[in-house]
Chain A
Amino acid sequence: MAGKTLYDKLWDAHLVKQRDDGSALIYIDRHIVHEVTSPQAFEGLRLAGRKPWRVDSILATPDHNVPTTSAERASGVAGIEDAVSRIQVQTLDDNCDEFGVTEFKINDSRQGIVHVVGPETGACLPGMTVVCGDSHTATNGALGALAHGIGTSEVEHVMATQCLVAKKMQNMLIRVDGKLGVGVTPKDVVLAIIAKIGTAGGTGFAMEFGGEVFRAMSMEGRLTVCNMAIEAGARAGMVAVDGITFDYVKGRTYAPKGEQWDLAVAQWKDYVSDADAVFDEIVEIDGSAIEPQVSWGTSPEMVLPVDACVPNPKDESDAVKRNDIERALAYMGLKAGQAIKDIAIDRVFIGSCTNSRIEDMRAAASIVEGRQKAASVIDAIVVPGSGEVKAQAEAEGLDKIFIAAGFEWREPGCSMCLAMNADKLGNGEHCASTSNRNFEGRQGYGGRTHLVSPEMAAAAGVAGHFVDVRTFIDGSAV
Chain B
Amino acid sequence: MKSFTQLTGVAAPMDRANVDTDMIIPKQFLKSIKRSGFGKNLFDELRYLDEGLPDQSCEGRPLNKDFPLNQSRYQGASVLLSRENFGCGSSREHAPWALDDYGFRCVIAPSYAEIFFNNCFKNGILPIVLNEQVVEQLFAQMYAVEGYQLFVDLETQKVTTPAGESFAFEVDDFRKHCLLNGLDDIDLTLQDVDAINAYEIERKQLSPWMFDVIK
Contact = CB atoms under 8 A, between A and B. Distances in A.
**A and B interact:** yes
Interface of A: 16-17, 25, 27, 29, 39-40, 43-44, 47-48, 50, 53-54, 56-59, 84, 87-88, 91, 102, 123, 125, 127-128, 153, 156-157, 160-163, 165, 254, 256, 260-261, 263-264, 267
B27 interface: no
B212 A254 contact: yes
Contacts of B196: 16, 25, 27, 53, 161-163
A40 B186 contact: no
A25 B198 CA distance: 13
Given A56-B213, A254-B214, A50 B35 contact: no
B189 A57 contact: no
A162 B214 CA distance: 15
B33 interface: yes
By Cβ-Cβ distance, the 4 closest A-B pairs, closest first, are A39-B33, A256-B209, A56-B213, A161-B189
B185 A123 contact: no
B93 interface: yes
Interface in B194-215: 195-196, 199-200, 203, 206-215
A156 B122 CA distance: 13
Contact of A165 (B31, B189, B211): B189
Contact of A157 (B33, B36, B185, B207): B185
B190 interface: yes
B51 interface: no
Contacts of A88: 33
A254 B192 CA distance: 30
B214 A102 contact: yes
Interface of B: 1, 31, 33-36, 93, 122, 184-186, 189-190, 192, 195-196, 199-200, 203, 206-215
A53 B186 CA distance: 12
A319 B199 CA distance: 53
A40 B35 contact: yes
B66 to A, nearest CB: 33
Contacts of A25: 189, 192, 195-196
Which of B196, B211, B214 counts the most A-chain CB atoms under 10 A from its CB?
B214
Contacts of A263: 207-209
Which of B33, B192, B203, B207 counts the most A-chain CB atoms under 10 A from its CB?
B33
B64 to A, nearest CB: 28
A50 B189 CA distance: 14
A57 B190 contact: no
8 contacts: A48-B186, A58-B214, A59-B214, A84-B31, A156-B186, A160-B186, A161-B186, A263-B209
A162 B192 CA distance: 12
Contacts of A58: 214
Given A162-B196, A264-B209, 13 more contacts: A25-B189, A25-B192, A25-B195, A27-B196, A27-B199, A27-B203, A40-B35, A43-B33, A91-B33, A128-B210, A161-B186, A163-B196, A263-B209
A127 B186 contact: no
A161 B36 contact: no
A44 B35 contact: yes
Given A27-B196, A157-B185, A47 B214 contact: no
A265 to B, nearest CB: 11
A39 B203 CA distance: 30
A163 B189 CA distance: 8
Nearest to B54: A84
Given A25-B189, A43-B35, A102-B214, A264 B195 contact: no
B215 A260 contact: no
Contact of A50 (B186, B199, B200, B213): B186
Contacts of A84: 31
Nearest to B212: A254
A16 B185 contact: no
B80 to A, nearest CB: 22
